[in-house]
Structure 1
Amino acid sequence: MTGAKDVEETGVGRPGAQRPAPAPLTGKSALVTGGSRGVGRGIVERLVRDGAVVVVGFRQDADAAAALAARLAAAGGLVHPVRADLTRPGAVARLFAEAEDLTGGINILVNNAGTMLRGKFADTTEEDFDRIMALNVKAPFLAIQQAAHRLRDGGRIVNISSTATALAHPSQAAYSASKAALDQLTRVAAKEFARRGITVNTVSPGGVETAEVTAGVRPEVLQQWRRASAFGRLGLPQDIADVVGFLVGPDARWLSGQNLQAAGGAV
């Protein structure tokens, strides 16, 4: 039995005793595209930790999405994996509708799904160009369009871009162009959605240590990326996820139309 001395020391049971503050995203629901692996998975983990219910859009790796949902459920979180190929007609609208059905309404959209294409101007085919634009530009455009009708007032949109829009990397013309277009979508949407209290921002990672980013990159190039950072290392998914976590939280209410270069000082 708790004695008077225990109550006095801990404050438990006293009138006006402080209770732990709820997680900042408690009661919020988020849709994260490309959320089963890499940076997307890190973002999902951060949003769940902050109290959000998260719908994870994924295209191929059902096992990874299911494992992520199970692991976070074991820790008390709630994640709904939904398969969606965002390059197919109608897929974005269906994903958003299913996310609404699963959660009752979406407060946060993170456009993370994307693809990297390395190739010189002379070597990039028309099919390559169309493929990268379909996923990196058209899909987030359509997702933002859905958000215009479906996102709850006071919501948050974060687009994941790249420092490739600020640094001219050889053999990344199509990729850089696609991310530059995404940056401009952020600026326009921020103006259009402000009247509903919705903020729209971009996060631009530099080199991040994930299988998707580093696949096929020569060791000497990876070392160049490390040296470019003020901290002498590649970024981690958690580094990017924490920036996103800030932007979708209450403390970022006065930030909109911005591009946060999450590159460890490389830009």
Structure 2
Amino acid sequence: MLVTGGSRGIGRGIVLAAARAGANVVTCYRQEGEAVESLKAALKETGGDHHVLRADASDEADVGRLIATCEGLPGGLDAVVNSAGAFEPTSYDKLDPTQWAATLQANLTATHLVTQRALPLLGEGSSVINIGSTVAFIGMAGGAHYTAVKTALVGLTRSLARELGPKGIRFNTVSPGRIETEAMVALPAPAAEQQRKLFSSFTALGRLGTVDEVAQVVLFLISDLATYITGQNIHVDGCV
């Protein structure tokens, strides 16, 4: 299994959940740090053949190294989760071409590069999950560029599901809402509590989601329990 952007947030949750479920996982990160070291330590405790590489999913050469590592996985590659991405909030009137292009490259082009390079390794029964966002459905002030690429991701997923369905490869999007990650935990306590209260008020369940709740949906979609689910956009958002 390949999971991009696996050292933090939702990607990290997917990596750990998959490893604990018995998958051999290849994942990547862009910057060294404590998060990477703690992920490596946690993976060692699960057993299995895991690889944590420094690689940028939006860089063709780095993607080549990731796929080469996947070729050596015991049992081959049967699932890809495109979780890597980047976003810097900016009002639309101040959004310049460089930032627009960077957002496109980090989120949509990265997914394309990884998926296309992984295809020769994927056989019948394989699954590709693209991590989207509920902003594609509800919009986002200060995030028109991010909303645009996440919306495009849904269309890409749907098209690939149709094109590669005859080969038995499934494609789905998982679109989280507001999820409590380590980034929120790292905020000063008053600020974190303010955000929890605000964003929880938008959901029917009255709380934020957890990374594990997203991860479990991903694991379901790549499992044999979901063999007739493809081309879908599954919202994990507590009903916003």
The alignment's TM-score, normalised by the length of structure 2, stands at 0.91
- Aligned counterpart, 2:15: 44
Measure the CA separation in 2 of the matches of 1:106 and 1:156.
Answer: 10
Measure the CA separation in 2 of the matches of 1:72 and 1:198.
Answer: 27
Stretch moving more, 190-199 or 205-214: 205-214
Give the partner amino acid of 2:114.
A
Question: 5+ unaligned residues in a row in structure 1: which ranges?
Answer: 1-29
Give the partner amino acid of 1:35.
G
Judge conservation of contact 1:165–1:177 (CA < 8 Å) in 2.
yes
Give the deviation of 1:116 after TM superposition: 2.0
Judged with a 3 Å threshold, the aligned counterparts in structure 2 of structure 1 residues 261 and 198 are, in CA distance, closer, same or farther, namely same
Judge conservation of contact 1:117–1:174 (CA < 8 Å) in 2.
no
- Aligned counterpart, 1:232: 206
Give the deviation of 1:97 after TM superposition: 1.6
Measure the CA separation in 1 of the matches of 2:7 and 2:223.
Answer: 22
1:57 is paired with a residue of what secondary structure? strand
Stretch moving more, 121-130 or 221-230: 221-230
Amino-acid identity (%): 38
Question: Within 5 Å, which residues of 2 pair with 1:1-267?
Answer: 30-61=1-32, 63-103=34-74, 105-212=76-183, 220=194, 222-266=196-240
Measure the CA separation in 1 of the matches of 2:102 and 2:47.
Answer: 38
Judge conservation of contact 1:112–1:159 (CA < 8 Å) in 2.
yes
Judged with a 3 Å threshold, the aligned counterparts in structure 2 of structure 1 residues 212 and 189 are, in CA distance, closer, same or farther, namely farther
Question: 5+ unaligned residues in a row in structure 2: which ranges?
Answer: none
Aligned residues: 237
Measure the CA separation in 2 of the matches of 1:62 and 1:188.
Answer: 37
2:14 is paired with a residue of what secondary structure? helix
Give the deviation of 1:191 after TM superposition: 0.9
Give the deviation of 1:62 after TM superposition: 5.3
Stretch moving more, 116-125 or 210-219: 210-219
Measure the CA separation in 2 of the matches of 1:88 and 1:144.
Answer: 13
Deviations 1:214-244, CA, capped at 9 Å, x for gaps: 8888865543311111111111101100110
Judged with a 3 Å threshold, the aligned counterparts in structure 2 of structure 1 residues 218 and 236 are, in CA distance, closer, same or farther, namely closer
Measure the CA separation in 2 of the matches of 1:89 and 1:146.
Answer: 9
Judge conservation of contact 1:36–1:61 (CA < 8 Å) in 2.
no
The alignment's TM-score, normalised by the length of structure 1, stands at 0.82
Judged with a 3 Å threshold, the aligned counterparts in structure 2 of structure 1 residues 53 and 254 are, in CA distance, closer, same or farther, namely same
Deviations 1:183-227, CA, capped at 9 Å, x for gaps: 111001101111121110000000011144788888655433111
RMSD: 2.1
